[in-house]
Amino acid sequence: GTRDYSPRQMAVREKVFDVIIRCFKRHGAEVIDTPVFELKETLTGKYGEDSKLIYDLKDQGGELLSLRYDLTVPFARYLAMNKLNNIKRYHIAKVYRRDNPAMTRGRYREFYQCDFDIAGNFDPMIPDAECLKIMCEILSSLQIGDFLVKVNDRRILDGMFAICGVPDSKFRTICSSVDKLDKMSWEEVKNEMVGEKGLAPEVADRIGDYVQQHGGVSLVEQLLQDPKLSQNKQALEGLRDLKLLFEYLTLFGIDDKISFDLSLARGLDYYTGVIYEAVLLQSPAQAGEEPLGVGSVAAGGRYDGLVGMFDPKGRKVPCVGLSIGVERIFSIVEQRLEALEEKVRTTETQVLVASAQKKLLEERLKLVSELWDAGIKAELLYRKNPKLLNQLQYCEEAGIPLVAIIGEQELKDGVIKLRSVTSREEVDIRREDLVEEIKRRTGQPLCIC
């Protein structure tokens, strides 16, 4: 359930992270970090049926510790410990789950999460709408195919369970059954509710009438008129908020990407309001590519009670956030690049310092040092007298665009021969102008500010 990453895979990862971080920063987020392990009691009772997937560290005669399962619970603990009332933060780090790995689908036991959260008391649905906007911006920028964001509200689910006759004690366990509707048929889910979880068949049927519905703002309006659901205070609050949310999503220009889906339940215990999950509609089946069953690529929701669980006075800090499922995204991007046989550069070297004759190692060392000091990404081969052909070949293999060639004549004339690897054109550049010329050709800003 773990893996090593080759330089090629890391280059792909860095590109993906870059897109995500740029988006988080565009929306004004600060960055934090927290320890990779927490007190076991911090994580216990926050994840519903998934609590069994937490990695506990061996008891070594001190505090009982567990590896973090996500970045949300440590964030809530951080807010409570530091008595923070509001922050907009992102956090990118590894989390750990004793899950059944499915490597091809990007499911691992150690994996990265990229989280963005807004904590604080604000007017309803404005931060929630921004989180959905961020999700859509990132998924569109990564060009991984068409996606849809399913939206629901925990209060609507709880209200629906209440009017259908689900006993309070069974809310959470029935919730996690409903959450499986994206992977199982209604019949299978109903059998689990009735057979394994002891729910009355007629109650399951009433739930079935609701959870098989999905649509846009018109479905929200239809349910606001629903004689039973609209009588439930919780569900009514949730529906009114969703109506407002859809207004903001329309203003953000993303309402066409959003579907109100009553089967979306998100198994985690800490959600209290709006919940959402982005799924890929169907993967790009371009020439020779296998259609990929990757499913969910981002998710999140509102959790207004979590910080209060860690605060000695029970002080609540409302929060809403999202998590990008980068491992699944990496799988898709990697497979696409393999199918296209696209070459991925694994270094950023701008120029190789080479020599055309023997006995020029000292000159190469002097020049490469000058370039490094000027902020140029440069390399040289670790040989006293490398053949020019070998040096040029190295550039082709590594994708280095330029070669600065030193020869005896060039030294006498005070110039360096600058060669473009792709066009093979060569020009003599005065040594004092070399740095500017390399920056100009590789699009690097002229000053390192």
**Dihedral sign, Cα of residue 185, residue 106, residue 278, residue 265:** positive
For residues 320 and 118, the answer to whether their CB atoms sit within 8 Å is: yes
The C-alpha atoms of residue 302 and residue 276 are separated, in whole angstroms, by 9
**Dihedral sign, Cα of residue 239, residue 243, residue 248, residue 253:** positive
> Is position 72 annotated in a ligand binding site?
yes
> Is position 128 annotated in a ligand binding site?
no
The H or E element that residue 152 is part of is strand 147-153
At position 30, the amino acid (one-letter code) is: E
For residues 117 and 77, the answer to whether their CB atoms sit within 8 Å is: no
Backbone φ, ψ for residue 187 (5° rounding) = -60, -45
> Is position 270 annotated in a ligand binding site?
yes
At position 166, the amino acid (one-letter code) is: V
> Is position 109 annotated in a ligand binding site?
no
> Is position 271 annotated in a ligand binding site?
yes
Query: What is the residue-wise DSSP string for 233-251?
Result: HHHHHHHHHHHHHHHHHHH
- Of 29, 5, 265, 24, give the one whose Cα is nearest residue 111: 5
For residues 298 and 323, the answer to whether their CB atoms sit within 8 Å is: yes
The DSSP call for residue 15 is H
Tokens of 441: 């050709």
Tokens of 114: 């990229």
- Of 244, 357, 333, give the one whose Cα is nearest residue 284: 333
> Is position 266 annotated in a ligand binding site?
yes
| Angle (CA) 324 153 268, round 5° | 55
> Is position 68 annotated in a ligand binding site?
no
3-state secondary structure of 191: helix
| Angle (CA) 277 300 258, round 5° | 40
- End-to-end, the C-alpha distance of the chain in Å comes to 43
At position 124, the amino acid (one-letter code) is: P
| Strand-pair partners of 324 | 114, 298
Backbone φ, ψ for residue 326 (5° rounding) = -65, -30
> Is position 44 annotated in a ligand binding site?
no
- Of 111, 86, 109, 152, give the one whose Cα is nearest residue 317: 86
Q: Residue by residue, what is the 3-state secondary structure of 346-381?
A: CCCCCEEEEECCCCCHHHHHHHHHHHHHCCCCEECC
The C-alpha atoms of residue 61 and residue 89 are separated, in whole angstroms, by 35
> Is position 210 annotated in a ligand binding site?
no
- Annotation: binding site for L-histidine: 70-72, 97, 113, 117, 266, 270-271
- Annotation: binding site: 70-72, 97, 113, 117, 266, 270-271
